[in-house]
Amino acid sequence: MSTIDVAVLDHDAHGIPAADYAEILRRRLPDREVRLAATPEEHERYLREATVVAGKRVDAGEVAAAEDLRLFACNAAGVDHLPLEALAERGVAVTNASGVHGPNVAEHVLGWVLTFARRLDEGRRRQERREWRRFQSFTELAGSTVTVVGLGSIGETVVDRFHGFDADTVGVRHTVAKGGPTDEVVGYDDLPEVLPRTDVLVLACPLTETTAGLVGEAELDALPTDAIIVNVARGGVIDTPALVDALRSNALHGAALDVTDPEPLPSDHDLWGFENVFLTPHVSGHTPRYWERRADILVENLERVAETGEYEGLKNQVA
């Protein structure tokens, strides 16, 4: 019989240690035994004994030895790296972390777009020079058209935030019939048709065969010359050489990139040299509330299990 209700595997998330997650779960699950697997020995033993394991990775051998395991709460949105067949054979439910990054990534996007719109970077430069001299803003978001590629949890949260600025929104997704929170939803094949009226293009989609190189020379040419591109997806969604060429020829107002191709971005790469390119080193996913949001999902699921006695119909259940 299991003596551990929840085992937290030791790994960080955006630099925040898993020990913080274990402490949050202990506080929110006072009647359950929560352990942090902080050593290889504890990792092996707790996997064998726990009913619920919260972590990023587990291999097929560990699943075979996990006799009491009923739920693997993956601390990542993607689960392709997990031995899903082995977990299914053992009847282990799998949930993911979809949704936890929505608010922070959306704020990252808005921060960049507002910086462009209000030219806050120019204000900062003048402050550094102690120069009290007025300058004009670039635009307003009200009435602008924001096209968001990818309507997963991040994309939908981005859209929600832009609605607060009275922007018109277009969503781009694989299955148009699913609809979405945008004023208009189109498929990937229709992206070229909406680009000429797009003021802000936000990329928030996974990197797949369909989206690799999605924004290339033709798509960049189709955008207005005063358009802004924001990429919080993966660097490979944009053809980087084509982007550099577009920036050099002033075919875009600017770009904001949290992800690049290549990544990390070499110190001698051309993208570093543009004043109208904002770069951050893949940090939009960070939030000090990450483990709290992970705990929200797990606690809700454990409450459901307590009510039903079943590991089915759980929030974010993927297998």
Catalytic residue, candidates 26, 263, 286, 292: 263
The residue from 48, 119, 282, 286 that is catalytic is 282
Residue 307 is among the residues annotated as catalytic for this protein: no
> How far is Cα 319 from Cα 309, in angstroms, rounded to an integer?
17
Question: In angstroms, rounded to a whole number, what is the distance separating the alpha carbons of residues 210 and 258?
Answer: 21
Catalytic hit among 35, 173, 234, 253: 234
CA 70, CA 142: separation in Å to the nearest integer?
49
Of 84, 34, 23, residue with least CA distance to 58: 84
Given phi > 0 = left and psi -120 to 50 = alpha, else beta, which region is 119?
Answer: left
Q: How far is CA 66 from CA 40, 69, 169, 311, in A?
A: 15, 5, 47, 16
282 is catalytic: yes
Rounded distance, CA 221 to CA 192, Å?
10
According to DSSP H, which parts of 66-135 are helical?
A: 84-89, 102-118, 120-128
**263 classed as catalytic:** yes
> 139, 172, 149: which is closest to 230 by C-alpha?
149
Which residues are the active-site residues? Answer: 234, 263, 282
